[in-house]
């Protein structure tokens, strides 16, 4: 009898300990799609760019027009989020607004703003310089409950520098051996990581959208957008099927910058007038005015950290994403950086 009671206690102990432990076992998946315009996300393919032989192979035009008429055809998963209690915002045609606050409108300054919650005017290039700023990944990686639980994957070889993997201890592409990985290998590793239930915070940086846009391949840019949406949908199915992730994972999807909005070739580029002045050789189109509109971004989110919120009057900013992510994880964003952008309205209050 005593042996039976002991056995019962041994069996019950973990359950009792679980019940008494703090409720914070929240997880986060942050996905970025490099240089993906809100125009394609919400309007779908641009008719003028499809008809322009410089950007779209004529053989592809009809097929694209048939399959992707609207943004919801191109990105069915992200467009399904509002009906599931999530958000998709940044549609300027619908009066929504989201923008970067950094003055450059390209990648390193944008990722730094997403990961740290503020623009750093000293970051004026994409050079492989270890970030002097502390990202929320690094801060979490030093917090109880998160140490060793933060991981990143991306197919741009500057991510290890932006996240400062050496100082932060956050592994970025650790299993990919330092090679420049393809987007599909990044997706596969990220899914493996999710399956292993290891990281509580998973960052995935997808870059094909920006690469194809710079090359002027509009149909490949669109295909990358569609493939990324499909990948994110699969990730979310995995989350919902797995008790370790289901009901405690907040997913955020966003972009580091937009692209030029003027007719013609402007969509292939991005950057402010200031960034063109600093590095005129870094652009294939010489335009001292920069690429207006490439500061405009969008964001999607779903999960227990996301709540219905009245649309604010101002323009949402990229600098609010770090505090939003920390709030979704049940962490105090002010303890991370009281000067960071405040959480987005749909990440606060119930
Ligand atoms: Zn770019």
Q: Concatenate the DSSP letters of all residues of 265-316 into one string.
A: GGGG----HHHHHH-GGG-SS--TT--TTTTB--EEEESTT----PPPSS-E
Distance 337 CA to ligand 1 centre (A): 28
pLDDT of residue 14 exceeding 70, the answer is: no
285 pLDDT band, cuts 50/70/90, is confident
Cα(103) to centroid(ligand 1), Å: 15
Q: Do 50 and 267 contact (CB within 8 A), yes or no?
A: no
CA 282 to ligand 1 centroid distance, Å: 10
Name 317's bridge partners. Answer: 99
Distance 15 CA to ligand 1 centre (A): 50
Q: Does residue 350 register a pLDDT over 90?
A: no
State in Å: Cα 238 to ligand 1 middle.
30
Taking the centre of ligand 1 as the mean of its atom positions, its distance from the CA of residue 209, in whole angstroms, is 9
Under the banding of pLDDT at 50, 70 and 90, the label for residue 22 is very low
Q: What is the pLDDT of residue 179?
A: 65
Pairing of strands 249-254, 87-89: unpaired
CA of 211 to the centre of ligand 1 (A): 7
Question: 14 C-alpha vs ligand 1 centroid, how far in Å?
Answer: 50
Q: Of 66, 6, 73, whose CA–CA distance to 41 is shortest?
A: 73
Cα(34) to centroid(ligand 1), Å: 7
Residue 23 confidence (pLDDT): 54
> Between β-strands 27-33 and 201-206, what pairing exists: parallel, antiparallel or unpaired?
parallel
Q: How far is the CA of 12 from the centre of ligand 1 (A)?
A: 55
DSSP string computed for 231-256? HHHHHHHHHHH-TTTTTSEEEEEE-S
Residues, CB-to-ion distance under 5 Å, ligand 1: 35, 210
Q: What is the mean pLDDT of residues 152-164?
A: 95
d(CA 72, CA 148): 37
Ligand 1 centroid – CA 106 distance (Å): 6
Q: What is the mean pLDDT of residues 104-109?
A: 98
Q: Return the pLDDT at 180.
A: 72
The phi, psi pair for 145, rounded to 5°, reads: 90, -15
- The whole-number average pLDDT for the span 209-216 is 97
For all residues of the chain together, what is the average pLDDT? 92
Q: Which residue has the higher pLDDT, 317 or 11?
A: 317
**Rounded mean pLDDT of 79-107?**
97
Centre of ligand 1 to C-alpha 28, Å, is 26
Buried b (16+ CB within 10 A) or exposed e, 2-15: eeeeeeeeeeeeee
CATH of 26-347, one of 3.40.720.10, 3.40.50.1860, 3.40.50.800, 3.40.1410.10: 3.40.720.10
Give the C-alpha separation, 90 to 75, whole Å.
Answer: 14
Mean pLDDT of 207-235: 97
Centre of ligand 1 from the C-alpha of residue 333, in Å: 29
Residue 291 CA, ligand 1 centroid: distance in Å: 12
Q: Name the one residue in this structure whose structure tokens are 């003055």.
A: 103
Position with higher pLDDT, 27 vs 4: 27
pTM above 0.85, yes or no: yes
CA of 295 to the centre of ligand 1 (A): 12
Helix axis angle for 321-328 and 107-116, nearest 10°, is 40
Distance from residue 207's CA to the centre of ligand 1 (Å): 9
183-191 average pLDDT score: 94
pLDDT value, residue 178: 58
Please name the residues in contact with 287: beta carbons below 8 A apart, sequence gap of 6 or more: 266, 269, 276
The stretch 54-70 carries a mean pLDDT of: 95
Judge whether residue 284 has pLDDT over 60. Answer: yes
Q: How far is the CA of 330 from the centre of ligand 1 (A)?
A: 33
Say how many Å lie between the CA of residue 249 and the centre of ligand 1.
Answer: 30
Q: Quick one: which of 106, 119, 122 has its CA closest to 156?
A: 106
Span 63-79, mean pLDDT?
97
**If phi over 0 gives left and psi between -120 and 50 gives alpha, with beta otherwise, what is residue 203?**
beta
**257 CA to centre of ligand 1 in angstroms:** 8
Give distance in angstroms: CA of 208 to centre of ligand 1.
Answer: 10
DSSP codes, 112-163: HHHHHSS--TT--S------SSPPHHHHHTTSTTTTT-EEEEESSTTHHHHT
Q: What value, to the nearest 5°, has the Cα angle with vertex 303 and ends 300 and 306?
A: 70
Distance 156 CA to ligand 1 centre (A): 11
Question: Is pLDDT above 50 for 288?
Answer: yes
Q: Using alpha carbons, select from 283, 329, 270 the residue that is nearest to residue 109.
A: 270
How remote is the CA of residue 111 from the centroid of ligand 1, in Å?
A: 12
Non-local (6+) Cβ contacts of 118 within 8 A are 101, 319, 337, 339, 340, 341
Q: How far does residue 200's CA lie from ligand 1's centre (Å)?
A: 29
């Amino acid at each position: 009898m005593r042996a039976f009671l002991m056995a019962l206690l041994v069996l019950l102990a973990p359950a009792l300990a679980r019940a008494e432990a703090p409720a914070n076992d929240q997880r986060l998946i942050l996905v970025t799609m490099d240089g993906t315009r809100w125009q394609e996300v919400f309007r779908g393919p641009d008719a003028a760019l499809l008809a322009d032989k410089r950007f779209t192979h004529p053989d592809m035009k009809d097929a694209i027009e048939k399959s992707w008429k609207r943004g919801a055809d191109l990105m069915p998963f992200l467009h399904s989020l509002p009906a599931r209690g999530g958000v998709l915002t940044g549609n300027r045609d619908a009066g929504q607004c989201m923008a970067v606050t950094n003055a450059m409108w390209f990648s390193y300054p944008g990722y730094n703003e997403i990961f740290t919650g503020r623009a750093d005017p000293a970051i004026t290039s994409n050079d492989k310089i270890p970030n002097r700023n502390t990202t929320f990944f690094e801060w979490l990686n030093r917090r109880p409950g998160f140490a060793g639980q933060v991981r990143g994957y991306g197919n741009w070889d500057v991510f290890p520098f932006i996240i400062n993997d050496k100082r932060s201890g956050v592994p970025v592409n650790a299993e990919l051996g330092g090679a420049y990985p393809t987007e599909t290998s990044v997706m596969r590793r990220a899914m493996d990581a999710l399956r292993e239930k290891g990281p509580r915070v998973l960052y995935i940086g997808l870059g094909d959208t920006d690469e194809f846009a710079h090359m002027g391949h509009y149909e490949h840019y669109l295909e990358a957008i569609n493939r990324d949406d499909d990948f994110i949908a699969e990730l979310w199915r995995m989350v919902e099927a797995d008790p370790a992730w289901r009901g405690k994972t907040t997913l955020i999807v966003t972009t580091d910058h937009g692209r030029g909005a003027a007719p013609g070739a402007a969509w292939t580029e991005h950057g402010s007038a200031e960034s063109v002045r600093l590095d005129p050789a870094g652009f294939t189109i010489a335009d001292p005015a920069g690429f207006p509109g490439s500061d405009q971004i969008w964001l999607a989110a779903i999960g227990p950290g996301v709540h219905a919120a009245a649309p604010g009057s101002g323009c949402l900013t990229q600098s609010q994403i770090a505090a939003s992510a920390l709030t979704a994880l049940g962490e105090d964003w002010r303890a991370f950086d009281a000067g960071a952008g405040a959480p987005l309205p749909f990440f606060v209050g119930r």
